[in-house]
Chain A
C-alpha cells in the first residue's frame, strides 16, 4: 500500500510545471499544485475520465510552526467509483494575500468546508457564494484561531471576550436558507421580514 497514485503521473503529463512535488505517506499520495491553476487542476481531477474524483472528502489547511513556511490548503479527494484517494495541497505564501479560487462550482460540499477554512485560517475563497464564519460567531473580531500566531486564549481579555459574546445576537446570524424559513417568510412578523430582507446579521463591530 505504499505505491504512488497513478493520478500524479497523469497530472504531470497534463499540467506540467503546475504540478509541483509529491510524496507518499502511510500509503497515501499527496501532490502539491500551484495556486494559479488550482481550479483547473481540481476540475480536471473531478471530470476527466480515468480520474473521476467525484467526492470531496475534506478541505482543511495547515499552518506550520516555522513562520517562513507557507500555509497549506489541503483538498482530500475520493473517487467513489474507482475507490481511490488523492490529497492535493496548495502552498500559500504568507507574504501574499491568502486567496484561492473556490471549488464550490465543482463540489457543492465545498460550501461549508471553505467557510470553515476561512473561519479558522483566514483563507479567502474567491467566488464562494456565502463566505462567512461558520464556527465562531460572525462578529468575532479576534482573528483566525488555528493560525500559529494566534494565542491559545485569544487576543482579548476574558472580560472583553465575555462582553462581546453576550453582545452577539444569536438569532440574527443565520441566513434565510439556514433557518429553512424561506417558505414561511410570508408568515413572519413584519419587523423580522424587514431585518431578513436587509440581510441584517449582528450589530457588533
Chain B
C-alpha cells in the first residue's frame, strides 16, 4: 500500500519547500491539534461510477459503519468535502468532470483511489478508459481489489488518517498543485504514458491489435 503523492513524488531535483515558519514547539503542537481534527472529521466526496460504489455504500452502512472514523457525513457538494473517493472506473469522458470536482474542493484535500479500475484502469485497457486516476488528479491512497471489501477501504481510510497525522503546516508543498504547461496535465506526458503502460495479461496485446 503506497503512500505516494504523485504531485510531490517527482520533485526530486528541488529541495523541499519549508516556509518561513520552521518546525518548533508551537507549530508541532498546532500540527498535532489540526491534524487530529482533520483526520477524525474527514468528509468524503463519493465519486461512485461502478461496482466499487456498492462496496463503498456497504462501508458507509451499519455493518461496517464509516461513522466510527468521523466520516458519516457524505458530502455531495465538493465545496464541503475533504476527501475525494473515486469508487469505480473512470472513462475519459468523465476525466474533466472529476478534475472539475477536485478543483472545486477547498484545501486541505485528499483523495482515495478505490479499486483496480480507478487505480490502474483494471481490465479496461482500452480506448475509452483512463488508466489510473493519478493521471488526472493527485492520489493519496490506492486501495486494491476488484472491488475492495469494506475492510479494505477502511484500511485505506486509516492509512490516509495516518498520513494526515504526519503532515505539518510548515510545509507548503503539501498543498501545492502544479500543472505541467498549458496542457492541463498534472504529470509530464511521458509519465502519463509510462503509468498507462499495459501490465499483466494486457502485455500480450499490442497497441495495434
Question: Which A residues have a C-beta under 8 Å from some C-beta of B?
Answer: 135-137, 142, 145, 150-154, 157-170
Do residues B96 and A168 form an inter-chain contact, with CB atoms below 8 A?
yes
Shortest Cβ distance from residue A140 to the other chain B in the assembled complex, whole angstroms: 9
Do residues B128 and A163 form an inter-chain contact, with CB atoms below 8 A?
no
Do residues B128 and A136 form an inter-chain contact, with CB atoms below 8 A?
yes
- Taking a contact as CB atoms closer than 8 A, the residue among B95, B125, B208, B209 that contacts A166 in the complex is B95
Shortest Cβ distance from residue B159 to the other chain A in the assembled complex, whole angstroms: 27
- Taking a contact as CB atoms closer than 8 A, the residue among A151, A152, A159, A169 that contacts B189 in the complex is A159
Shortest Cβ distance from residue B174 to the other chain A in the assembled complex, whole angstroms: 24
C-alpha spacing A158/B209, complex, angstroms: 16
Given A152-B205, A158-B196, A159-B189, A165 and B127 contact (CB-CB distance below 8 Å):
no
Given A150-B127, A152-B209, A158-B196, A166 and B99 contact (CB-CB distance below 8 Å):
yes
Do residues B196 and A165 form an inter-chain contact, with CB atoms below 8 A?
no
User: Interface-forming stretch among B30-38, B106-114, B129-137?
Assistant: B129-137
Do residues A159 and B128 form an inter-chain contact, with CB atoms below 8 A?
no
Q: Which of B92-117 contact A (CB under 8 A)?
A: 92-93, 95-97, 99-100
Do residues A145 and B128 form an inter-chain contact, with CB atoms below 8 A?
yes
A-B contact pairs, 9 of them (CB 8 A): A135-B93, A157-B193, A163-B184, A163-B189, A165-B92, A166-B184, A166-B185, A170-B93, A170-B97
The interface on chain B, measured as residues whose beta carbon lies within 8 A of the other chain's beta carbons, has a size of: 29
Other than A151-B127, A154-B126, A158-B193, give 8 A-B pairs with Cβ distance below 8 A: A137-B93, A150-B127, A152-B125, A153-B126, A153-B207, A161-B92, A165-B92, A168-B95
Question: Which B residues have a C-beta under 8 Å from some C-beta of A?
Answer: 92-93, 95-97, 99-100, 125-128, 130-131, 135-136, 183-185, 189-190, 192-193, 195-196, 198, 205, 207-209
Given A152-B205, A163-B183, A158 and B131 contact (CB-CB distance below 8 Å):
yes
A-B pairs, top 9 by smallest CB distance, nearest first, are: A159-B189, A154-B127, A158-B196, A165-B92, A159-B192, A166-B184, A165-B95, A163-B183, A159-B193
Shortest Cβ distance from residue A120 to the other chain B in the assembled complex, whole angstroms: 11
Give every chain B residue within 8 A of A159 (Cβ-Cβ): 185, 189-190, 192-193, 196
Do residues B185 and A136 form an inter-chain contact, with CB atoms below 8 A?
no
Give every chain A residue within 8 A of B209 (Cβ-Cβ): 151-152
Which residue on chain B has the smallest CB distance to residue A149?
B208
C-alpha spacing A152/B92, complex, angstroms: 15
Give every chain B residue within 8 A of A164 (Cβ-Cβ): 92
Shortest Cβ distance from residue B128 to the other chain A in the assembled complex, whole angstroms: 7
Which residue on chain B has the smallest CB distance to residue A143?
B127
Shortest Cβ distance from residue A12 to the other chain B in the assembled complex, whole angstroms: 42
C-alpha spacing A162/B184, complex, angstroms: 9
Give every chain A residue within 8 A of B189 (Cβ-Cβ): 157, 159-160, 163
Which residue on chain B has the smallest CB distance to residue A160?
B189
Give every chain A residue within 8 A of B131 (Cβ-Cβ): 158
Give every chain A residue within 8 A of B130 (Cβ-Cβ): 162, 165
Which residue on chain B has the smallest CB distance to residue A161?
B92
C-alpha spacing A168/B100, complex, angstroms: 11
Shortest Cβ distance from residue B184 to the other chain A in the assembled complex, whole angstroms: 4
